[in-house]
Amino acid sequence: MQKYIHQFFDIERRNTSIQKELMAGFTTFLAMAYITIVNPAILSEAGMDFGGVFVATCLAAALGSIIMGLTANYPIALAPGMGQNAFFTYTIVIGMGHSWQTALATVFISGCLFIIISLLPIREWIINSIPKNLKHAITAGIGLFLAFIALQNAAIVQASMSTLVTAGNLSNAAPILALLGLFVIVALDSKKIPGAIVIGLLAISLIGWISGLATFHGVVSKPPPMDTVFLQLDLETAFDLSMISVIFSLLLVDVFDAAGTIVGIADRSKLIDKDGKIPRLKWALLADSTATTFGALFGTSPTTSYIESAAGVESGGRTGLSAITVGALFILCLAFAPLVKSIPSFATSAALLFVAALMTKSLTEIDWRDMTEFFPAIITAIAMPFTFSISDGIGIGFISYICVKVLSGNPRDCSFASYFVAAVFAIKFIFLN
């Protein structure tokens, strides 16, 4: 069995081991386990049953991650996406007044369209045509985006009416423990200690439980029923012409959120070949689109590739075995929900800050000699955290790239795919925002 696993996942050629992959999967799971609580909380505001969405979230994440690992052999885990769940609840349901059953149906339809696009060469052609410097910028931008999320979750930064964001109360326990966890992880990693991220995360969690700063909810409980959300789609209403803009928006965000994450993780995993192409990209895209489609049937918002997978990559994950490990842990999570819920946000924030810092190193790979190359790249990286959207950051980056190249007299530097992507995002920003 061990020999078969080595051959199937190409363990030796990717310079990893089964132990490293299992540890990487565990690290990624801990970094993204918050979604099992946050996603049901957000969708419950749309009127959905919390317990049913919890089960749907775990199943969608498990299915997507396992498919990704088996078909694409990438260390990328999937789960219902942050941002997409907010769009589902606050825009489609609360803002536009549609039922959550109709919203689920629009997710299902966009997922089916996603599968069709993934089977065609269109999407692979678009992603492989992303300029090399923008690919490095996407990786760094995701790192900055992760950092912003982590700083929020640790209360190191908070909202401000006058300046949008400002420093939180850094004398509180959460910021102090998050930074302490970060320093511990950095110190352990500098000593080349295996599992540095997991050790730091669990150590800070333990401090939180012992001190009473975090609640320990227990270990095991019976999973809640999911019949309240399973197959509850209102397809008849979703096929109304008025829903076209909603479906297109969901499709566009899912396509480019996934594209950005896949490019970023592939770059950090050294999976991009010398020509800048991503091997087995079609299978990665199919895993993402299939997870979205089945996630809607289970009863949750769009499922997508997770940027938190970078935590596993930095722990040594290089193959799909780590993604399958994440999928298996999400299945176990159905029974161990209290334990997962016990991991405090300041502990996961420490891990994400460490990963964010490592991902921003991709800025050093950008060609700093050519302003028409590095300027759009920097715009791309900055736009992601400030728009709080990977896909919008990519869109702004593409538009900047085309404009700079054309106005500087270098339109031939841009591929047809680049012009196409920039035009699609321009339409989205003008008519669909």
Q: Per-residue pLDDT tens for 96-118?
A: 788 999 999 999 998 898 888 88
Write down the pLDDT at residue 311: 80
Strand partners, 39: none
For residues 200 and 351, the answer to whether their CB atoms sit within 8 Å is: yes
For the cut 90, the answer to whether the pLDDT of residue 323 exceeds it is yes
pLDDT of residue 401 exceeding 90, the answer is: yes
- CA 127 vs. chain centroid, Å, equals 17
**371 found inside a domain:** no
The whole-number pLDDT of residue 194 equals: 62
- Per-residue pLDDT band for 8 (boundaries 50, 70, 90) equals confident
In a domain, 391, yes or no: no
Buried residues in 116-135 as b, exposed as e (16+ CB within 10 A) = ebbeeeebbebbbbbbbbbb
Predicted pLDDT at 200: 85
Q: Is residue 374 part of a domain?
A: no
pLDDT of the residue at 275: 65
> Given the structure tokens 């300046």, which residue do they identify?
163
For residue 3, pLDDT over 90 is answered with no
User: Is residue 432 predicted with pLDDT exceeding 70?
Assistant: no
Instruction: Return all residues near 78 (Cβ < 8 A) that are at least 6 apart.
Output: 60, 61, 64, 65, 68, 287, 288, 291, 303, 304, 305, 306
Taking residues 300-315, what's their average pLDDT? 84
Q: What is the pLDDT of residue 192?
A: 73
Does residue 62 register a pLDDT over 70?
yes
Write down the pLDDT at residue 377.
92
Number of structural domains in the chain: 1
Q: Calculate mean pLDDT across residues 284-303.
A: 90
Which of the residue ranges 83-87, 223-227, 356-360 would you say has the lowest mean pLDDT? 83-87
pLDDT of residue 276: 64
Mean pLDDT of 276-283: 76
Render pLDDT for 165-197 as a digit per residue (tens, 0 to 9). Answer: 899 899 999 999 999 999 998 998 888 776 677
For 219-270, the pLDDT digits (tens) are 788 888 888 999 988 888 888 877 777 787 778 777 777 777 777 777 777 7
* Residue 152 predicted with pLDDT over 80: yes
In contact, 220 and 385? CB cutoff 8 Å: no
The pLDDT assigned to 172 comes to 93
66 domain residue, yes or no: yes
3-class DSSP string for the chain: CHHHHHHHHCCCCCCCCHHHHHHHHHHHHHHHCCHHHHHHHHHHCCCCCHHHHHHHHHHHHHHHHHHHHHHHCCCCCEEECCCHHHHHHHHHHHHCCCCHHHHHHHHHHHHHHHHHHHHCHHHHHHHHCCCHHHHHHHHHHHHHHHHHHHHHHCCCEEEECCCEEEECCCCCHHHHHHHHHHHHHHHHHHCCCCCHHHHHHHHHHHHHHHHCCCCCCCCCCCCCCCCCCCCCCCHHHHCCHHHHHHHHHHHHHHHHHHHHHHHHHHHHCCCCCCCCCCCCHHHHHHHHHHHHHHHHHHCCCCEEECCCHHHHHHCCCCCHHHHHHHHHHHHHHCCCHHHHHHCCHHHHHHHHHHHHHHHHHHHHHCCCCCHHHHHHHHHHHHHHHHHCCHHHHHHHHHHHHHHHHHHCCCHHHCCHHHHHHHHHHHHHHHHHC
pLDDT tens digits along 407-421: 999 888 888 878 888
In a domain, 266, yes or no: yes
Phi-psi region of 17 (alpha: psi -120 to 50; beta: other; left: phi over 0): beta
Structure confidence at residue 273 (pLDDT) = 67
97 CA to centre of own chain: 28
Q: So what's the pLDDT on residue 403?
A: 94
Q: Do the domain assignments include residue 395?
A: no
Mode of pairing for the β-strands spanning 157-160 and 164-167 = antiparallel
- Higher-scoring residue by pLDDT: 327, 363: 327
- State whether the Cα torsion 281-287-293-295 is positive or negative: negative
Looking at the domain assignment, is residue 32 inside a domain?
A: yes
- Residue 240 CA to residue 91 CA, distance in Å, equals 17
The share of the chain scoring above pLDDT 90, in percent, equals 24
Task: Kindly tell me if the per-residue pLDDT of 425 is higher than 80.
Answer: yes
Q: Give the span between the Cα atoms of 139 and 143, in whole angstroms.
A: 6
Residue 118: inside a domain: yes
Percentage of the chain beyond pLDDT 70 is 96
Give per-residue pLDDT as tens, 222-236.
888 888 999 988 888
Domain membership of residue 192 as a residue range: 2-215+222-359
Q: Which residue(s) pair with 167 in the sheet?
A: 157
User: What pLDDT is recorded for position 123?
Assistant: 66
